[in-house]
Structure 1
Amino acid sequence: MDVELRHARILTVINRLGSISKAASELNVPQSSLTAQLRRIEKALGGEIFLRSVQGVALTKRGERLLPLLSELVQQADLVIVEAASHASEVFRFGSAEWTPPSLLDALRTSLPAPEVQTETLSPDAAVDAVRRGALTVAMVPGVALDRVRDATELPLEAALIAREPVWLALPQGHPLSATEAVRPADLPALNWVCYARDHWFHSIESKMFARFEPTRPEVLHYADGHHEAMNWVRDARAAALTTPTGATSDVSLVPLCDTVNSEMLVVWRRGSVARATLQRLVDAVRRYYAEYARSIPRYWAWICEHPERFPELGAFLRPAPGL
């Protein structure tokens, strides 16, 4: 039997998962069938590639020599397929949660080689599902959306971190706390709050902060369906709300919180669906766009510049703009 590309894929999956049963599940074949295939492949390669045990599999000396070569073969084959597919596709579909500024579309069009770029706003869960189904090429979502499905073994998704946003406090302009350097958790229960609906992605992040209020229960005036609705309540009802700095509007005051939590912003794509060079341009474009958007929020931008170690992914994009 000649060794084929599909055999190399089988060996790399078994090695990555460290288990024949897990590999059979990912490859969607019976374990007995995969075990039989493995025996035939090992015979063609001149000996055992894996040592079997109740704990799983481990590479033999022969496997240690051959697996790097087989993995490289698979990677090169995937690159050929992805490059061919990326040039065949006419439309690059980018999904975004909560809202999609027109300037983001302009940034993507400038950076990506696709003939046409389209953007779509939808919920984080719907965006992840659309990427998985191939309805979206890429989506920018909060990390909590991916956490809910990360344990699904059939999920063929990969992700890159754009930034870890701190959770801050939004207050009506002129509020006494808006002039403080950072608000302490002890000051929060006395405020009147607008919170997020239970099916909104920010609800779980908000709950982590609100858990620190116990045993005091803050008064909640309204449960909002998104950041912009929450900011309207902050402005018009003089309520308080938790938000990421980029989720706030310019007509409210943003104040850092002591001992806060973070919200991860991710770019997610289906494994093998986008060329590596295109992915790198995309990730760089979104990180650059995030830094430029953060620069338009004076207090947040000043805080970022004071804490660059919290934003390692943004790197060179954190350099001050000319004239600043």
Structure 2
Amino acid sequence: MELELRHARIVWTIAEVGSISKAAGWLNVPQPSLTTQLRRIEKMLGGDLFVRSRSGIVPTSLGKRLIPMLARLVQQADEVTSEAAASIASTFRFGNTEWTPPTLLAAIQASMPTVDVETETLAPAAAVEAVHGGALTVAMIPCSTKATPDYVRHPDLDTTVIFREPIWLAVSRGHPLADLDSVDGTCLTGLNWVHYSRDHWFHEVEKDLLAQLDQTDLGGSHHVDGHHEAMNWVRDTDAAALTPPTGVTGDVRLVPIRETQTIELMLVWRRGAVGRETSRRLVETVRRYYCGYASTIPGYWPWIVEHAAEFPELSHFLPLPTPSG
């Protein structure tokens, strides 16, 4: 029996998920079959690679030496496959949540002139499922920085954070809070609130932040299914809503919330489906576009520059602070 790529992928997957039963699910094989295959691999390599513990399985001394080598083998093979696929692909399908500005589509297309770029708006979980199934090449999804969704935690997926955003308060232009530099949780009571529907991805983010600010009993006149709908209610009914800055529209005002939470926009693709150069170029393009878009939101870009340490992914585009002393 000779070592094959599939053997390396089995060991790498088990190491990634920390459980033979979970790895069997990811690899779509029966657990007894995977256990048998692992024993054959270990016999071929000369010893046990894993030992069971209360928390699952952990690498043995031999495993600690060999697993990183097997992981590199899998990653290199995936890179070869993705570069070969990229050379013959004719369409690059980009999934996004909420909405995709035509100018973003144009920027991505300009960075990939040899393929046709198509975009699609999907809820985060549906976008990741489409990536799994091959209907999307990549997806950009929002996640709370406090907890990455389970559907993203899959050994077949590669991810990278594009940028992070704070959660701020949106009010109408004539609202008493509109011209404040910032607000805290006590300022949120007594407002005419618009909340997000229970099946919208931002609902849990909103609920968690309001709980953190000790504001769990805020009433609401309407529940919306997206940031732009929320902004329409803010503008037309003098309501208030939570939103990331890029969710705002030009006819309302943003007010920073002290001790707020952040979300992160994460790029997700199937391992082996996107080459390293392609992913690097895409990440650079989207980050550059985001910085340009952020500069159009009143007060937001100066705030980003002032809080540059909170935006490490954008450090290439931000003025570096001058060292003191």
SS for the counterpart of 1:95 is strand
Q: Matched residues in 1 for 2:209 and 2:11: separation?
A: 45
Q: Report the AA paired with residue 106 of structure 2.
A: D
Of residues 125-134 and 164-173 in structure 1, the stretch that sits farther from structure 2 once superposed is 125-134
Q: Matched residues in 2 for 1:216 and 1:120: separation?
A: 34
What residue number does 1:36 align with? Answer: 36
Q: Report the AA paired with residue 175 of structure 1.
A: H
Conservation of the 8 A alpha-carbon contact between 2:125 and 2:151: no
SS for the counterpart of 2:16 is helix
Q: Matched residues in 1 for 2:125 and 2:14: separation?
A: 30
Q: Matched residues in 2 for 1:89 and 1:215: separation?
A: 50
What residue number does 2:261 align with? Answer: 261
Conservation of the 8 A alpha-carbon contact between 2:167 and 2:263: yes
Conservation of the 8 A alpha-carbon contact between 2:172 and 2:240: yes
What residue number does 1:50 align with? Answer: 49
Q: Matched residues in 2 for 1:282 and 1:236: separation?
A: 37
Q: Report the AA paired with residue 268 of structure 1.
A: V
Q: Deviations over 1:245-301 (max 9, x none)?
A: 110011111111112111221111122211111111111111111111101113111
Q: Structure 2 stretches of 5 or more lacking a match?
A: 321-325
Q: Matched residues in 2 for 1:312 and 1:151: separation?
A: 22
Conservation of the 8 A alpha-carbon contact between 2:128 and 2:152: no
Q: Where in structure 2 are the equivalents of 1:231-246 lying within 5 Å?
A: 231-246=231-246
Distance 1:28 1:305, change over 3 A: same
Find out whether 1:228 has 2:228 as its counterpart.
yes
What residue number does 1:210 align with? Answer: 210
Q: Where in structure 2 are the equivalents of 1:182-197 lying within 5 Å?
A: 182-197=182-197
Q: Where in structure 2 are the equivalents of 1:4-19 lying within 5 Å?
A: 4-19=4-19
Q: Report the AA paired with residue 78 of structure 1.
A: D
Of residues 134-143 and 3-12 in structure 1, the stretch that sits farther from structure 2 once superposed is 3-12
Q: Matched residues in 2 for 1:217 and 1:150: separation?
A: 30
Give the alignment's TM-score, normalised by structure 1. Answer: 0.88
Q: Report the AA paired with residue 150 of structure 1.
A: Y
How many residue pairs get aligned? The number is 317
Q: Matched residues in 2 for 1:106 and 1:215: separation?
A: 41
Which of 1 and 2 has greater Rg? Answer: 1
Q: Matched residues in 1 for 2:69 and 2:192: separation?
A: 62
Deviation of 1:318 (Å): 2.4
Deviation of 1:68 (Å): 3.9
What residue number does 1:166 align with? Answer: 166
Conservation of the 8 A alpha-carbon contact between 1:160 and 1:268: yes
Q: Report the AA paired with residue 87 of structure 2.
A: H
Deviation of 1:113 (Å): 5.2
Q: Report the AA paired with residue 52 of structure 1.
A: V
Deviation of 1:216 (Å): 7.7
What residue number does 2:75 align with? Answer: 75
Give the alignment's TM-score, normalised by structure 2. Answer: 0.88
SS for the counterpart of 2:299 is helix
Distance 1:37 1:206, change over 3 A: closer
Deviation of 1:100 (Å): 1.0
Deviation of 1:319 (Å): 4.0
Deviation of 1:133 (Å): 1.4
Q: Report the AA paired with residue 240 of structure 2.
A: A
Deviation of 1:74 (Å): 2.2
Q: Report the AA paired with residue 3 of structure 2.
A: V
Deviation of 1:54 (Å): 4.6
Distance 1:77 1:212, change over 3 A: closer
Q: What is the aligned-residue RMSD (CA, Å)?
A: 2.5
Distance 1:67 1:193, change over 3 A: closer
Deviation of 1:242 (Å): 1.1
Conservation of the 8 A alpha-carbon contact between 2:98 and 2:123: yes
What residue number does 1:59 align with? Answer: 60
Distance 1:31 1:220, change over 3 A: closer
Of residues 2-11 and 23-32 in structure 1, the stretch that sits farther from structure 2 once superposed is 23-32
Of residues 242-251 and 267-276 in structure 1, the stretch that sits farther from structure 2 once superposed is 267-276
Q: Matched residues in 1 for 2:148 and 2:15: separation?
A: 24
Q: Report the AA paired with residue 179 of structure 1.
A: D
Deviation of 1:213 (Å): 6.5
Conservation of the 8 A alpha-carbon contact between 2:185 and 2:215: no
Deviation of 1:214 (Å): 5.4
SS for the counterpart of 1:125 is helix
Find out whether 1:104 has 2:104 as its counterpart.
yes
Deviation of 1:215 (Å): 7.2
Conservation of the 8 A alpha-carbon contact between 1:18 and 1:58: no
